[in-house]
Amino acid sequence: MTQVLPSPTRDAARSTAATFTGLKCKECGAEYEAKATHVCELCFGPLEVMYDYSALSKMVTRESIEAGPHSIWRYRSFLPVASENPIDVGTGMTPLLKANRLARRLGLKHLYIKNDAVNMPTLSFKDRVVSVALTRARELGFTTVSCASTGNLANSTAAIAAHAGLECCVFIPSDLEAGKVLGTLIYNPTLMAVHGNYDQVNRLCSEVANTHGWGFVNINLRPYYSEGSKTLGYEVAEQLGWKLPDHIVAPLASGSLFTKIYKGFQEFIKVGLVEEKAVRFSGAQAEGCSPIAQAFRDGRDFITPVKPSTIAKSIAIGNPADGVYAIDIANKTNGNIESVTDAEIIDGMKLLAETEGIFTETAGGTTIATLKKLVEAGKIDPNETTVAYITGNGLKTQEAVQGYIGEPLTIEPKLDSFERALERAKTLDRLEWQQVLV
């Protein structure tokens, strides 16, 4: 990497096409200019992007969106960027799959999988938030971008920074899966592997952000970054034929993604793109890091931080910034927040792979295991149109399933060797032979 220069945080020239009007504190409502800032100076609440919704409802139609690019940028006017040419690496518009075999297995009638395991360019939903954050970072004049990551964010920030020609320095806990580390290093950023958990990495990054003038996608650029997750809501609405589902299930790390799917649905209702509907929101956590699920279960409206210990490293945030907002949404939509064990997560990954041909990572296993648990507890009605959000790819967390998925049958390049192995396979009940042979 070349020398990293501190970058000034000047405000970008605002295009008249921009529909966002500034930042607003989620707690006290104080308003701020759309700069690289994320905390309210008055009450320390988180800042969120504001839009001119009356302008948006005049400007945007279903047809104008459908005529846009096949990426998140078809929703550009709902995103906090001013440039006409955002960083477009093909992020978004991932498949919404009708999951009939998984539905039958679980006892549901109308189940869909939103498959961000195949999002571009780095196979997780994080490409959405990073595409938005780096576009805004460029507008604000940053030349070096950074992040505190549980793995996928590092992959995404390094890849999209490389494409955009931005300097990149990312921070991860040092115990991440090999695929996440390699999947960052290949883009040749500066990668800092920190001896500590994500929450410690994040604290360190807050200090670096104060001293180095870098654009941290999930710290000083967090208001812009988090808006990228709204596209997971928009796409599902559009892909269901401009209708909202009855129930969604999504994983929770900081809780941001969950709250932004909600915001996305609300915005589409507000500007008249979909009919009003009370969508139920249910969240998924790994038991080994479930501060939001624990607070929900106890009926608390505050989070007690925990020390993470789970195979679901990508969602292992012990002190989740948006946890209280996630609880509020689950409560007011009559949803739930559940946690599942590591063994259930592995079963969830296998179940999704065997029924739908989707290899997800541990976060997706958490979502499927939680979906199963909620159905079994009668907390999802079989008749509800339910969407499960699969947010990452299983090739990145191979160590999680190693030893739980059998072995190949190694044979000689001879027919009799194959026949013997086939007999053995039948006794192992590896495939549904009865069904295949009749």
- Tell me 134's DSSP state: H
**Interface with ligand PLP by CB under 6 A: which range of 97-105, 190-198, 252-260, 298-306?**
252-260
User: Considering only residues 126, 247, 263, 280, which one is a binding residue for ligand PLP as defined by CB under 6 A?
Assistant: 126
By the rule CB under 6 A, 65 interacts with ligand PLP: no
329 binds ligand PLP (CB under 6 A): no
The answer to whether 138 touches 164, Cβ cutoff 8 Å, is: yes
Binding window for ligand PLP (CB under 6 A); candidates: 106-114, 235-243, 248-256, 285-293: 248-256
Q: Closest CB to ligand PLP among 89 and 363? A: 363
Q: What is the DSSP letter of 360?
A: B
Question: Per CB under 6 A, does 115 bind ligand PLP?
Answer: no
Give every CB contact of residue 413 below 8 A, 6+ residues apart in sequence.
none
Binding piece for ligand PLP, criterion CB under 6 A, among 13-21, 49-57, 75-83, 247-255: 247-255
In the complex with ligand PLP, the residue whose CB is nearer, 57 or 266, is 266
315 binds ligand PLP (CB under 6 A): yes
Considering the complex, state which of residue 236 and residue 252 has its C-beta at the smaller distance from ligand PLP: 252
Does 392 interact with ligand PLP (rule: CB under 6 A)? yes
Instruction: Give the count of alpha carbons within 13 A of 19, CB side only.
Output: 16
Q: Which of 363, 369, 375, 380 binds ligand PLP (CB under 6 A)?
A: 363
Residue (95 or 382) nearer to ligand PLP, CB: 95
Nearest partner of 215 among 116, 297, 314, 141, judged by Cα? 141
* Residue 242 phi, psi dihedral angles, 5° rounding: 60, 50
- One residue of 391, 394, 397, 401 binding ligand PLP per CB under 6 A: 391
Is residue 123 involved in binding ligand PLP (CB under 6 A)? Answer: no
Sign of CA dihedral 205, 207, 212, 216: positive
Verify binding: residue 375, ligand PLP, rule CB under 6 A.
no
310 binds ligand PLP (CB under 6 A): no
What is the C-alpha separation between 347 and 11, in angstroms, rounded? 48
Does position 253 interact with ligand PLP (CB under 6 A)? The reply is yes
* In 222-336, beta strands by DSSP E: 247-251, 280-286
Q: Among residues 59 and 178, whose Cβ is nearest to ligand PLP?
A: 178
Q: Which stretch binds ligand PLP (CB under 6 A): 240-248, 249-257, 263-271, 343-351?
A: 249-257
Among 77, 152, 157, 370, binds ligand PLP (CB under 6 A): 152
* Tokens 């905390």 -> residue: 39
By CB under 6 A, tell whether 202 contacts ligand PLP. no
Q: Which amino acid is at 350?
A: K
Residue 197's alpha-carbon distances to 53, 172, 215, 295, in angstroms, are 40, 8, 22, 21
Tell me which stretch binds ligand PLP (CB under 6 A): 175-183, 184-192, 251-259, 296-304. 251-259
Q: How many CB atoms lie within 10 A of CB 29?
A: 11
User: CA-CA distance, 373 to 337, in Å (whole number)?
Assistant: 11
Number of residues that bind ligand PLP (CB under 6 A): 16
**Of the candidate residues 290, 314, 355, 370, the single one contacting ligand PLP (CB under 6 A):** 314
Name the CA dihedral angle for 374, 379, 382, 384, rounded to a multiple of 10 degrees: -110
- Asked if 72 touches ligand PLP (CB under 6 A), the answer is no
110, two tokens:
């109308």
Closest approach, Cβ 127 to ligand PLP, in A, equals: 10
The C-alpha atoms of residue 135 and residue 239 are separated, in whole angstroms, by: 25
Q: How buried is residue 180: exposed, middle or buried, by Cβ count under 10 Å (0-12/13-18/19+)?
A: buried
- CA distances to 22, 26, 284, 296, 328 from 304, in Å: 31, 20, 17, 11, 16
Q: Which is nearer to ligand PLP, 19 or 202 (CB)?
A: 202
Rounded to a whole number of angstroms, the minimum distance from the CB of residue 124 to ligand PLP is: 5
Distance of closest approach, residue 363 Cβ to ligand PLP, in angstroms: 4
Given 251, 264, 308, 318, the residue binding ligand PLP (CB under 6 A): 251
**Do the beta carbons of residue 154 and residue 217 sit within 8 Å?**
no
Least distance to ligand PLP, CB of residue 289, Å: 12
Residue ranges that bind ligand PLP, judged by CB under 6 A: 124, 126, 152, 251-257, 314-315, 361, 363, 391-392
